[in-house]
Amino acid sequence: MVACFAAENRLASIVGKKRAANVLGQPTFRVGGGYWLRLPVFSWFTSKGVVSEANGVDPSASRDLKSEPM
């Protein structure tokens, strides 16, 4: 939510790789056979009406942070 807000309002540079966003506000139930049932309660929308659920945020600069030396 924070990255989406910052990117949409040009308040920060987002660095990294785009990943799908997952809403944490949903109950998840184990239904057997290795399957789960997830019932979303809500979705996150930006002030411009963009749904961030499963879309993530487009980074300003794409970089694989795991391969960068510290």
**Joined tokens for residue 38:** 């997830």
Mean pLDDT to the nearest integer, 11-38: 81
Q: Are 7 and 60 in contact (CB under 8 A)?
A: yes
Q: Give the global pTM.
A: 0.51
pLDDT digits (tens, 9 = 90+) for 26-66: 778 899 999 998 887 777 778 888 777 777 777 777 766 66
66/15: higher pLDDT: 15
Question: pLDDT tier at 24 (50, 70, 90 boundaries)?
Answer: low
Find tokens 């997830």 and name the residue: 38
Find tokens 């290795």 and name the residue: 34
Question: pLDDT tier at 68 (50, 70, 90 boundaries)?
Answer: low
**What is the distance between the alpha carbons of residues 5 and 57, in angstroms, rounded to a whole number?**
9
